Amino acid sequence: MKNPINGLNKNFESRIRLGVMSILMVNEEISFNDLKQVLEVTDGNLATHLINLEENGFLKVHKGFIGRKTNTTYSITRPGEKAFNDHIAVLENMIKGIK
Amino acid sequence: MEDKNQQPLETLQDIKQIMERSSRFISLSGLSGIAAGICALTGVFLVTQKIDCWKIGNCLLNRLASEEGLDLKRELYLIAAGTFTAAFILAFFFTWLRSRKNNVPIWGHVARRLMWSVAIPLIAGGFFLYQMIELKQYELIAPGCLIFYGLALVNASRHTLSEVRYLGYLEILLGLINCRMIGYGLYFWAIGFGVFHIIYGSIMWWKYERNS
């Protein structure tokens, strides 16, 4: 029998990465600062995870300006959505498996 | 083993919570609704003290349109402005309290979105109704307020507690009925801005805040 745990996405083992993906699923676009506020993490910590997610092609980065301040926003990609949904499906199956 | 089995459920619950927290303004307190409703009822009561013939129906409209209505109009504006300010401050206060309790910042991207979604129908409606007053078309002001307010609530419900939607539907329905019962606007305001707010606020408080 196939172990359902194999279906879990390794990239989402980190709670912060999973948190970022959850937020991007329900927000069309969100800024770095808003992400930081919701997740309650430090700049450096969040930045590292965002780079990882970007390299995996799960999110898109948009660099913009508000006045002179940089305003970086993030949005989810199609592969990102799929990876997230698959991950959720596995979690749900694991719960059903118990019952 | 037991411990491992618990994990996926917890993770899913966390995900749900974070989705909600990042996309909806959930600090809106039921007490805000109750307070706003009480302010509205007080305002309506004060107005009835000014207008003795309000029970008859549309006598108010004729008086407002006449020359002598000017002073009365000014007084009514003052009551309206006072009622709105008091309702707004109290509503803000209880929501601020709750957001502090929940440890959620009151001003973030969700609050910003919520504000815009409320503001657009209200500003457009406010401008429209103001123009109608300028043209001395008083008949549809009361139902107009209810309808635009209802639309604002329905629009805002995407960014806050989704139950707000039903309050919005009720306000719109009440406004539409009021369209067919011109002159009884004060009754409708008492129901829409007073009674409905108090009922809505009580239900929300019972549902979400009673235990916290």
What residue has token string 């960014």?
Answer: B159
Tally of domains within chain B:
1
- The CA distance from A10 to the nearest CA of chain B, in Å, is 14
pLDDT at B1 over 50: no
Q: Which residues of chain B have a CB within 8 Å of the CB of A87?
A: none
CA B176/CA B146 separation, integer angstroms: 8
Is the pLDDT higher at A70 or at B167?
B167
Q: Do the chains contact at A37 and B9, CB–CB below 8 Å? A: no
Taking a C-beta distance cutoff of 8 angstroms, is the pair A57, A80 a contact?
A: yes
Q: Answer yes or no: is B144 within a domain.
A: yes
Q: Answer yes or no: is B49 within a domain.
A: yes
The DSSP line for B171-197 is: HHHHHHHHHTSTT-HHHHHIIIIIIHH
What residue has token string 């411990």?
Answer: B3
Structure tokens that stand for B32 in this block: 């805000």
Dihedral (C-alpha) A51, B107, A66, A53: value to the nearest 10 degrees?
10
Average pLDDT, chain B: 87
Structure tokens that stand for A34 in this block: 């808003």
Q: Which residues of chain A have a CB within 8 Å of the CB of B15?
A: 18-19, 22, 88
CB-closest option in A15, A38, A91 to B21: A38
Mean pLDDT highest for which of A69-83, B89-103, B129-143, B190-204?
Answer: B190-204
Q: How many CB pairs under 8 A join A and B?
A: 47
Order of all β-strands in the sheet with A59-66 = A30-31, A69-76, A59-66
Q: Answer yes or no: is B8 within a domain.
A: no
pLDDT of residue B65: 62
pLDDT at B70 over 80: no
Interface of B with A (CB under 8 A): 5, 8-9, 11-12, 14-15, 18-19, 21-23, 105, 108-109
CA A61/CA A67 separation, integer angstroms: 19
pLDDT of residue B122: 95
CA A56/CA A85 separation, integer angstroms: 16
CB-closest option in A15, A23, A94 to B22: A23
Is the pLDDT higher at B128 or at B99?
B128
Mean pLDDT of A63-77: 88
Phi, psi angles (nearest 5°) of residue B104: -110, 130
pLDDT of residue B74: 84
Mean pLDDT of A24-39: 90
The nearest alpha carbon in chain A to B17 belongs to: A22
- Mark which residues 18-47 of A lie under 8 Å from B by CB: 18-19, 22-23, 25-27, 30-31, 34, 37-39
Domain that holds residue B151: 30-206
Q: Rounded to 5, what percent of chain B is helix, strand, coil?
A: 80, 0, 20
Q: Answer yes or no: is B36 within a domain.
A: yes
Phi, psi angles (nearest 5°) of residue A74: -130, 145
Taking a C-beta distance cutoff of 8 angstroms, is the pair B197, B40 a contact?
A: yes
Q: Do the chains contact at A27 and B105, CB–CB below 8 Å? A: no
* Helix or strand holding residue A66 (H, E): strand A59-66
Q: Answer yes or no: is B7 within a domain.
A: no
Q: Answer yes or no: is B83 within a domain.
A: yes
pLDDT of residue B66: 65
Q: Tell me the ipTM for this assembly.
A: 0.83
Q: Do the chains contact at A31 and B14, CB–CB below 8 Å? A: no
Q: Answer yes or no: is B72 within a domain.
A: yes
Is the pLDDT higher at A98 or at B86?
B86
pLDDT of residue B3: 43
Mean pLDDT of A59-73: 88
CA B149/CA B178 separation, integer angstroms: 14
Q: What is the CATH number of domain A10-98?
A: 1.10.10.10
What residue has token string 């606020």?
Answer: B201
Q: Answer yes or no: is B5 within a domain.
A: no
SS3 A71: strand
pLDDT at A1 over 60: no
Mean pLDDT of A59-72: 88
Is the pLDDT higher at B105 or at B167?
B167
Q: Which residues of chain A have a CB within 8 Å of the CB of B1?
A: none
The closest of B161, B193, B202 to B34, measured between CA atoms, is B202
pLDDT of residue B110: 87
- The CA distance from B134 to the nearest CA of chain A, in Å, is 39
pTM of the full structure: 0.79
